[in-house]
A and B are shown apart, each in its own frame.
Chain A
Amino acid sequence: MEIDINIKEKSITGIITDTEELIIDNIKKNNILKVGVVKEDYLSSNFLNKVYEWMYYEIRRKRLILKNPKKKINDSLKIVGLDTTYLNRNINSLSSSEKILIILAISLLSNPDIIVLINLFKYLDKTKEKVLIMLLEKIKDQYNKTIVLINDDSEIMYKYTKYLIIKKNNLFIEDETNKLFQRVDFLHKNNIKVPEIIELTHLIKKKKKIKLEYHKDVRDILKDIYKHV
């Protein structure tokens, strides 16, 4: 099945979907650009021992032709903020957040133009979540990459993406994330979860006719509520 997906270049676009394989296939088909996919499956147990074995294995598996693989590996690790001591670490000794950085580094080996991360944020605490998003912003800005986050969690999408595509339950819409999530009744009708802060703001307007702004931070809605009670 072919669908026309518009990914804005050099931005962070979110996709909420129940057909991620279809989406990825279409991103690959619709773009002449190279696409790197970072999936949660790669976090599961690995038959290799060391990180360097994993990285060389991926070079072979993806049939990457690299002039200087060692340098490329070191550079990729550096981009994600890891030093080369990680190469000798046992894969099983890595935490989920460290593994996510390694698989992101692996995706960079092929020098993709678009990096697609699928459902990775759920493994991270608040601090690590912010670190990853800052890293993705850096990769986007400094290395001219386009970032796509495929994620079920509307809270993550609202916090971190500029554009949003929803392809779920026979629904296919796209817009700026802020605008799209404000279509609360429409999203409810289509069984799409709305971020809680928006849902509350919408409810206040509906029940009490009080129009608060749509905020992202709990402290901002707190101030707004304080002004209006």
Chain B
Amino acid sequence: MTKIIEINNFSDDKLFENLSINIEKNKITTISGANSCGKTTLMRILNREIITENDILLNNININDYTISEYTNLVQTVIPNEIVFNENTLEKELNNIDLVKGLRIKSILNKNIKDLTIKEKVLAQLAIALDNKPQVLLLDNVFIYFNDKEREEIFTFLRNFQKKYNLTVVLTTIDLRDSLYTDYLYIIGNKKVILKGVPLKVLEKDNILNKVGLNIPFMADLSVKLKDYDLLDSIILEKDRMVDILWK
């Protein structure tokens, strides 16, 4: 595993106590947890909006040791509703035309940015962040604005983009369905990481996830419970397949 971000025993007065997270290079990692567990704060810390003396490394160098422009070239962040656009329209901001097709944003290219809906603004933010070709893309609770179909399309696009440009993506979410599109999942609770691993393995820990207060995706939840009754061997997300296995 090649680590690109290392958070080692991070502690502050309020939210975290010995929080340790390693983000693998060229992967998509989910960080999840209940409301107010510090997900957005963590994104702001990684975006250096909140300065900390704790040990946080990017490519083995403390994040505070980068200049602002060096860091911005390496790390781009999307926090919905917090937008700094240089131009009035998205068309003037973008260079990479692939993004227009991939994110289906042709219809908003020439709209005044002030007139965009929340969902359109998030897409615009995402496009601009990707346009800068960062090494790391941080997405804070971005997918809540999209329905299931749109989510799938964005994740598919993001996966292709990630492979093509060796991008590392870190996303926070309250909705564990998002984690199913990603490579690794961290769950924060009681100020530290309480679960980590491949998403389907983490979702097997239903008791812990319920205690934290997270909704487990229905098919994963049912699979885990059927596993407890020896009716299944693993988590099955496809309904057709589950029905066929249960009634062979």
Contacts and interface: CB of A to CB of B under 8 A. Distances in A.
A197 B35 contact: no
Contact of A126 (B82, B215, B244): B215
A222 interface: yes
A40 B118 contact: yes
B242 interface: yes
A203 B219 CA distance: 13
B135 to A, nearest CB: 28
Contact of B239 (A44, A127, A128, A203): A203
Contacts of A175: none
A112 to B, nearest CB: 24
Given A122-B175, A219-B225, A226-B229, A96 B35 contact: yes
Contacts of A226: 229, 231
A60 interface: no
A169 to B, nearest CB: 12
Interface stretch (A47-55, A65-73, A77-85, A204-212): A204-212
A226 B240 CA distance: 17
Interface string B228-243: 0101000000011011
A225 B246 contact: yes
B34 to A, nearest CB: 4
B35 A128 contact: yes
A152 B146 CA distance: 10
Interface residues of A, number: 35
Contacts of A40: 118
B174 A45 contact: no
Interface string A180-217: 00000000000001001101100110011010000000
B118 A218 contact: no
A229 interface: yes
A208 B246 CA distance: 10
Question: In the complex, which range does the number of interface residues on chain B fall in?
Answer: 20 to 34
A32 to B, nearest CB: 31
Interface string B54-83: 000000000000000000000000001110
A104 B226 CA distance: 40
Contacts of B240: 203, 207
Query: Is chain A's interface secondary structure helix, strand, loop, or mixed overall?
Result: helix
A95 B226 CA distance: 36
Contact of A203 (B81, B210, B221, B243): B243
B144 interface: yes
B103 interface: no
Nearest to B210: A126
A125 B229 contact: no
Contacts of A155: 218
Contacts of A218: 218, 221-222, 225
Contact of B247 (A122, A124, A208): A208
Nearest to B224: A218
Contacts of B34: 125, 127-128
Contact of B213 (A45, A127, A203): A127
A229 B239 contact: no
A229 B231 contact: yes
B120 to A, nearest CB: 13
A125, A203, A207: most-surrounded residue (chain B CB, <10 A): A125
A123 B231 contact: no
A12 B210 CA distance: 26
B148 interface: yes
26 contacts: A41-B118, A44-B80, A95-B35, A95-B36, A97-B35, A122-B174, A122-B175, A125-B34, A125-B35, A127-B35, A127-B213, A128-B35, A196-B218, A196-B239, A199-B239, A200-B219, A204-B243, A207-B240, A207-B243, A208-B243, A210-B247, A218-B221, A218-B222, A219-B225, A225-B246, A226-B229
Given A95-B35, A197-B218, A225-B246, 14 more contacts: A43-B81, A45-B81, A122-B174, A122-B175, A125-B174, A126-B213, A127-B35, A200-B242, A200-B243, A218-B218, A218-B225, A219-B225, A222-B226, A229-B247
Interface of B: 34-36, 80-82, 118, 144, 147-148, 174-175, 210, 212-215, 218-219, 221-222, 225-226, 229, 231, 239-240, 242-244, 246-247
